[in-house]
């Protein structure tokens, strides 16, 4: 069906101007499956089949061409990037005005690798110095590539440049800022300079059928920070049915990620599906809540399921950017997880970057971790920590000493228990030696953990 429509579409495009109505591959039915969001996604308004705006394939900078096609097709049309065409975006491209419009990417979108240029031009955000080449926002927007469309970040130039300046801004390949309702599907994404995707200030988005990978051409300048997806200040997001081959988190839930489903992913070479890090900044309040991670195949990774929380800081420390931030992680489930050659099948820590467990016990996390469930974990870890396969570490919950206050929505209270109801059920993960698997469990309620805890 897609091939047939594509043929008609190409013939029509070649033969006539955009004014003649013609067929083009419409948005496939996209469903969140098998898990569905607790709040159903809003319905997309009907698109006019003849309202099509082809992005000028001749434009030397595809940025302004894309913006003008989007303005023309806004409110019910479809913007089309033609197949067998390379579009180069060479200037910051603000697509946050979109309303009920689709963007069909059948060609390749490349981002200029003029490192110097983007330092001052990319859209910059204070959070982790995130920068974007382009940003999508608005309401009811479907960006789709039917497995053909490709985004290419020319990452190697950036990874090499990073070697001479560690703090150089490296833009994210795809980002939303204030996108309410819509989808991102069927895209190939390769060689991102930094994270592949960031979903910020957004809600009600289905992301499906994405293929992410990295090609290194200079092994002296390896990729860094190439997370698959990061969510931030966003709610009701589903990420599913995708393959991710990268060198950092497969998916990472950053502050204020709620109602997120991640399912049917194949992650390779990654740092796991991660909550956090959270609690890094004193004075900030980070929330990750109602997250369901289902059916993940994780290979050649440092971690499978991961939760990383910074510990507290000494009393009266001000402006610390290494822990002491408040908030909570609540109601997070990891269900059905297949490990192959992962260093830790599960790594939960409330002592992220603490110099020692003692230091962490002295100044425990002020960010609560509760109602966490790990269940149905299978597979074999790497030999790295054999016979240990997982690690579950909380700050000392026993209280005593300075600064041990849990900061809740209602303010500080004297409840010092910063880890609550952390469970592990049906965990069948073995080390390669096939001896009995061992787990590091520190300050945990071991009665809730169906694993073989050993003293650390
Ligand atoms: C995602 O995968 C599930 C299970 O394999 C399937 O039922 C569903 O149709 C897929 N969704 C899309 C949008 O491809
Ligand atoms: C490194 O990049 C940052 C961000 O563009 C810039 O502020 C800084 O001056 C650069 N450092 C050097 C040594 O060029
Ligand atoms: C999100 O929205 C807020 C309020 O409109 C704005 O200040 C912020 O820059 C936006 N982006 C991010 C990433 O928070
Ligand atoms: C490869 O990376 C190294 C280290 O950053 C750099 O010195 C060298 O110039 C790079 N080679 C090429 C062909 O870019
Ligand atoms: C898990 O995801 C894979 C794709 O990675 C899919 O083939 C399989 O059907 C899914 N299994 C379940 C139980 O949803
Ligand atoms: C998976 O990751 C490993 C380790 O990073 C890498 O060697 C391998 O090529 C990757 N596999 C695929 C299919 O890309
Ligand atoms: C997260 O949400 C809470 C509650 O609305 C808010 O107080 C806090 O500032 C938000 N944090 C971030 C990092 O946006
Ligand atoms: C926990 O999160 C799931 C979504 O992952 C949601 O369906 C459920 O209602 C939440 N439970 C509570 C008690 O809020
Ligand atoms: C894991 O890495 C090995 C060795 O690099 C590779 O052969 C294998 O294909 C990788 N697994 C996946 C799922 O890519
Ligand atoms: C922290 O500051 C408060 C208020 O200024 C002061 O009473 C307290 O002694 C200080 N604590 C430490 C350990 O310095």
What is the tens place of the pLDDT at every residue in 220-244?
999 999 999 999 999 999 999 999 9
411-413 vs 406-408, strand pairing mode: antiparallel
Q: Is the pLDDT score of 2 beyond 50?
A: no
Give the per-residue pLDDT at 397.
56
- The catalytic residues are 271
**Residue with tokens 């497995």, as numbered in its chain:** 147
Flag whether pLDDT at 7 surpasses 60: no
pLDDT at 81: 97
More confident: 82 or 411: 82
- Check if the beta carbon of residue 153 is closer than 8 Å to that of residue 192: yes
Q: Whose CA is nearest to atom 3 of ligand 2?
A: 168
User: Quick one: pLDDT at residue 315?
Assistant: 79
pLDDT of residue 269: 96
For the cut 90, the answer to whether the pLDDT of residue 415 exceeds it is no
Pocket of ligand 5 (CB under 6 A): 34, 264, 266, 295, 297
Ligand nearest to the CA of 135: 3
pLDDT at 410 over 70: no
Instruction: Determine the atom of ligand 5 nearest the C-alpha atom of 243.
Output: 5
Q: Is the pLDDT of residue 108 over 50?
A: yes
End-to-end CA distance of the chain: 58
CA of 316 to the centre of ligand 10 (A): 6
Around ligand 7, the residues with Cβ closer than 6 Å are 233, 255-256, 284-287
* Whole-angstrom distance, CA of residue 210 vs CA of residue 185: 6
- Alpha carbons 393 and 349: distance in angstroms, whole number: 5
Whether pLDDT at 433 is above 80 = yes
pLDDT digits (tens, 9 = 90+) for 117-170: 999 999 999 999 999 999 999 999 999 999 999 999 999 999 999 999 999 999
Show the ligand 6 pocket: residues with CB < 6 angstroms.
245, 268-269, 300
The pLDDT of residue 3 = 38
Q: Which ligand is nearest to the CA of 144?
A: 1
41-45, long-range: CB < 8 A, 24+ apart: 41/181, 41/204, 41/206, 41/236, 42/140, 42/181, 42/204, 44/100, 44/140, 44/142, 44/181, 44/182, 45/76, 45/100, 45/140
pTM here is 0.93
pLDDT in tens, 303-325: 999 999 999 988 788 877 899 99
Q: How confident is the model at residue 17 (pLDDT cuts 50, 70, 90)?
A: very low
Evaluate if residue 19 carries a pLDDT over 50: no
Q: How is residue 178 written in tokens?
A: 């204030």
pLDDT at 12 over 50: no
Asked if residue 244 has a cis previous peptide bond (ω within 30° of 0), the answer is no
Evaluate: CB of 200 within 6 angstroms of ligand 3: yes
In ligand 3, the atom with minimum distance to the C-alpha of 127 is: 13
Tell me the per-residue pLDDT of 202-218, one tens digit each, with 9 for 90 and over.
Answer: 999 999 999 999 999 99
- From 264, 267, 378, the mutation candidate for ligand 5 (largest count of ligand atoms within 8 A of CB) is 264
Cα gap 239→34, rounded to integer Å? 12
Ligand 6 centre to CA of 7 (Å) is 35
Give the pairing type, strands 234-245 and 257-268: parallel
Pairing of β 211-213 and β 188-190: parallel
Domains of the chain: 81-454 (2.160.20.10)
Mean pLDDT of 92-100: 98
User: Which residue among 124, 167, 171 has the greatest number of ligand 2 atoms within 8 angstroms of its CB, and so is best to mutate?
Assistant: 167
Half-sphere exposure at residue 64, Cβ-oriented, CA atoms within 13 angstroms: 4
The number of residues making up the chain comes to 456
Q: What is the sign of the dihedral through the CA atoms of 380, 381, 382 and 388?
A: negative
Cβ pair 350, 418 in contact under 8 A: yes
Is-contact 313 352, C-beta < 8 A? no
Pairing relation of β-strands 174-185 and 203-208?
A: parallel
* Atom of ligand 2 minimally distant from the CA of 119: 5
Sorting pLDDT into bands at 50, 70 and 90, what band is 24? confident
SS3 of 382, please? coil
Residue with CA at minimum distance from ligand 7 atom 6: 285
Is ligand 2 within 6 A of the CB of residue 167? Answer: yes
Closest CA to 184 of 72, 30, 51: 30
- What's the whole-number average pLDDT of the chain? 91
Ligand 10 atom with the shortest distance to the CA of 316: 1
Radius of gyration of the chain (CA): 23
Is ligand 2 within 6 A of the CB of residue 374?
no
Q: CA 364 to CA 355: how far, in whole Å?
A: 13
pLDDT grade, residue 418 (50/70/90)? confident
CA of 270 to the centre of ligand 6 (A): 9
């Amino acid at each position: 069906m897609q091939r047939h429509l594509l043929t008609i579409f190409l013939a029509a495009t070649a033969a006539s101007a955009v004014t003649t109505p013609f067929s083009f591959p419409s948005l496939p039915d996209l469903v969140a499956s098998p898990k569905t969001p607790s709040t159903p996604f809003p319905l997309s308004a009907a698109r006019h089949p003849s309202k099509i705006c082809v992005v000028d394939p001749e434009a030397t900078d595809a940025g302004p061409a894309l913006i003008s096609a989007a303005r023309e097709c806004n409110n019910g049309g479809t913007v089309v990037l033609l197949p067998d065409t390379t579009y180069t975006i060479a200037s910051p491209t603000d697509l946050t005005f979109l309303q009920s419009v689709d963007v069909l990417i059948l060609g390749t979108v490349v981002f200029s690798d003029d490192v110097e240029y983007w330092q001052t031009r990319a859209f910059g955000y204070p959070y982790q110095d995130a920068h974007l080449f382009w940003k999508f926002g608005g309401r009811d927007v479907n960006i789709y590539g039917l497995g053909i469309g490709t985004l290419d970040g020319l990452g190697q130039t950036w990874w090499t440049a990073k070697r001479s300046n560690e703090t150089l801004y490296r833009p994210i390949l795809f980002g939303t800022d204030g996108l309410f309702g819509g989808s991102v599907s069927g895209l190939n994404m390769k060689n991102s300079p930094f994270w592949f995707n960031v979903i910020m200030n957004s809600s009600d988005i289905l992301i499906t059928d994405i293929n992410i990978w990295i090609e290194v051409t200079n092994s002296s300048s390896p990729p860094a920070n190439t997370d698959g997806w990061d969510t931030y200040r966003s709610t009701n997001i589903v990420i599913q049915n995708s393959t991710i081959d990268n060198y950092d988190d497969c998916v990472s839930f950053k502050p204020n990620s709620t109602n997120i489903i991640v399912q049917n992913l194949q992650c390779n070479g990654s740092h796991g599906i991660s909550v956090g890090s959270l609690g890094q900044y004193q004075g900030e309040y980070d929330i990750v809540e109602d997250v369901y991670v289902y059916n993940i195949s994780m290979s050649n990774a440092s971690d499978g399921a991961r939760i990383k929380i910074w510990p507290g800081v000494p009393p009266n420390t001000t402006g610390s950017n290494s822990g002491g931030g408040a908030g909570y992680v609540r109601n997070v489930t990891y269900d059905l997880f297949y490990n192959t050659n992962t260093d830790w099948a599960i790594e939960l820590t409330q002592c992220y970057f603490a110099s020692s467990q003692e230091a962490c016990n002295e100044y425990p996390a002020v960010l609560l971790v509760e109602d966490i469930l790990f269940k149905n974990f299978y597979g074999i870890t790497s030999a790295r920590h054999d016979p240990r396969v997982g690690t579950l570490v909380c700050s000392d919950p026993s209280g005593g000493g300075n600064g041990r206050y849990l900061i809740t929505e209602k303010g500080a209270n004297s409840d010092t228990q910063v880890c609550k109801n952390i469970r592990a059920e049906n965990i069948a993960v073995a080390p390669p030696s096939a001896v009995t698997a061992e787990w590091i469990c520190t300050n945990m309620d071991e009665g809730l953990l169906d694993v073989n805890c050993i003293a650390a």
